[in-house]
Structure 1
Amino acid sequence: MHFLLLGASGRTGQHVVSELLSQGHTAVALVRTSSSLTPRPGLTVVTGSPLSKPDIRSALLAATSLSLSAAIITLNTVRKSDSPFAAQLSPPRFLADSCANVCEVLEHAGIFRIVVMSTAGVGDSWGNLPWLSKAFLGWTNVKYALEDHGLVDEEIRRTKMDWTLVRAVRLQFDDQKKTETKRDVRTLGSTGDGMNMTDSVSVTSVARFLVKVAVEGLFIKSAVVVAN
């Protein structure tokens, strides 16, 4: 299969690239900085912005001999630093407008499958989010990312796309050990029933799940919370 990737240079997106290529798939990645991702066999890198529909169309046409199967989006908002109190650098609605643009371009091209990485706490999963997590989100600048993911949730439901929203619990980035790459995820439905403060999920596990959902056509027109 052939995929369009947005967010491929990010900490989760890079694992998505590796997972797709290891399975023999191909992909074209739209990145904002050309040096952020190195082309390799099976991967085409196109420089552009997800806020630009012409740039997204250029990515679709970058590998004319391949027929696009689906898109996987792992974009996130950007803060000045990793501190949860750091100032937000991304423009308002960055995630929502990017997703809306991709969906519009794909629909016009007759492609309707899209898988989007979201976060636990969005939409109907807010009610099952542990109270301490709610407090953290309410008192830090992470709340802006949550709000933008919520707008993505609203935008994508208005489209004709066969969408899936993968709502990850607290991401674990220290996953370099080989044992980590083999961990599966638990699916907790759209509401995240049973979430607790100790839940986390490795980026490699999320990446594998995103690819699995996209390739096998799982959870169509559904949101699903995932944890290890």
Structure 2
Amino acid sequence: MHFLLLGATGRTGKHVVTELLAQGHTAVALVRNPAAITGRKGLTVVQGSPLNKADIEKALTASPEPLAVSAAIITLNTVRASDSPFAAQVSPPRFLADSCEAACAALLAHDIRRIVVMSTAGAGDSWKGLPVVSRAFMGWTNVKYALKDHNLVDQEIRQTDTDWTLVRPVRLEFDDAAPAKDMGILDSAGGGKLGMRDCAQITSVARLLVKIAVEGLYVKEAIVVRD
């Protein structure tokens, strides 16, 4: 399969690229800074903004023939001034929602409906499944701005004519060397079983995103995932 990737230079997105290429798929990545991604066989890199529908459409037609995009994987996240949860938000308030809106519009204009979006546990109806301490953390620190944006994506993508899937990992662990493992899949609310120790390795999340996109799983569903 041939994929459109938004967020390919991010900490999870780069593992999505590696996983796709390792499985023999190809991809086109729309990135704001091409220097931030290593060129590889099977990967086409296009410079542009995920907020710009024209840039996304440019990426959809940028790969050499006969490659044609059949699905998109989005691993974008909001940006803070630092990794501190108290750091100021740098990206626009609707960065995720507007990027997803632009992507959906561009994909549908090219008759492409499959889109897999990495969200977060706490978005939508999974909020009630979080431990009280996690809800307090997300509600009182500047993480709340990212959560608000994820919630907008969650609400708005359901109004589109795309075959969407929302993947909501619990607290991410950023060990690039960790082997990818099978993940626990919970319903959209987290099954009421989420705990403070729950985590999700980015390598495992990346592999699951690819599996869901390739195999057409969980269409028009949101799922919570953890190691």
Normalised-by-shorter TM-score class: over 0.9
Residue 146 of structure 1 is matched in structure 2 by: 147
- 1:134-154 residue CA offsets vs partner (Å, 9 max, x unmatched): 010111101100000000001
User: By how many angstroms is 1:174 displaced?
Assistant: 2.1
Q: Structure 2 CA distance, aligned partners of 1:199 and 1:152?
A: 24
CA contact (8 A) 1:19 1:207 kept: yes
Instruction: Give the residue type in structure 2 aligned to 1:36.
Output: A
Which runs of 5 or more structure 1 residues have no equivalent in the other structure?
A: none
The answer on whether the counterparts of 1:120 and 1:225 sit within 8 Å (CA) in structure 2 is yes
- 1:48: which partner in 2? 48
Write out the 4+ residue segments of structure 1 that deviate beyond 6 Å after TM superposition.
Answer: none
Tell me which of 184, 207, 217 is aligned to 1:186: 184
Q: Decide whether the 8 Å contact of 2:165 with 2:220 is kept in 1.
A: yes
Contact 1:172–1:201 at 8 Å: present in 2 too?
yes
Q: Which residue of 2 aligns with 1:201?
A: 200
Aligned to 1:61: 61
Alpha-carbon separation, structure 2, partners of 1:223 and 1:121: 12
Residue in 2 that maps onto 1:224: 223
Equivalent residue number for residue 72 of structure 1:
73
User: Quick one: distance in 1 between partners of 2:164 and 2:53?
Assistant: 19
Q: TM-score, normalised by structure 1?
A: 0.97
CA root-mean-square deviation: 0.7
The SS at the match of 1:119 is coil
CA distance in 1 between counterparts of 2:125 and 2:12 reads 24
Q: Answer whether contact 2:60 2:68 (CA < 8 A) is retained.
A: no
For 2:10, the equivalent position in structure 1 comes to 10
| Partner SS, residue 97 of structure 2 | helix
Q: Secondary structure at the match of 2:190?
A: coil
How far does the alpha carbon of each residue in 1:187-222 deviate from its partner, in whole angstroms, 9 at most, with x for none?
011110111111000000000000000000000000
Once the 2 structures are TM-superposed, how far is the Cα of residue 37 of structure 1 from its aligned partner?
A: 0.7
Looking at structure 1, the residues matched to 159 and 25 of structure 2 have their Cα atoms a distance apart, in angstroms, of 29
Give the structure 2 partner of residue 155 of structure 1. 156
Which segments of 5 or more consecutive residues in structure 2 lack a partner in the other structure? none
Tell me by how many angstroms 1:175 deviates: 4.2
Alignment match, 1:19: 19
The alignment-based identity, stated in percent, is 66
Moved more, 167-176 or 42-51: 167-176
Residue 166 of structure 1 aligns to a residue whose secondary structure is strand
Contact 2:180 2:201 in 1 (8 A): no
Amino acid at match of 1:58: K
* 1:38–1:45 contact (8 Å) kept in structure 2: no
What letter matches 1:55 in structure 2?
Answer: D
Alignment correspondent of 2:174: 173
Secondary structure class of the residue paired with 2:54:
helix
CA deviation after TM superposition for structure 1 residue 114, in Å = 0.2
TM-superposition CA deviations, 1:21-42 (whole Å, max 9, x none): 0000000000011211122100
TM-score normalised to the size of structure 2?
Answer: 0.98
Q: How many residues align?
A: 225
CA displacement at 1:182 relative to structure 2: 3.3
1:128 alignment counterpart: 129
Give the 3-state SS of the residue equivalent to 1:181 in structure 2. Answer: coil
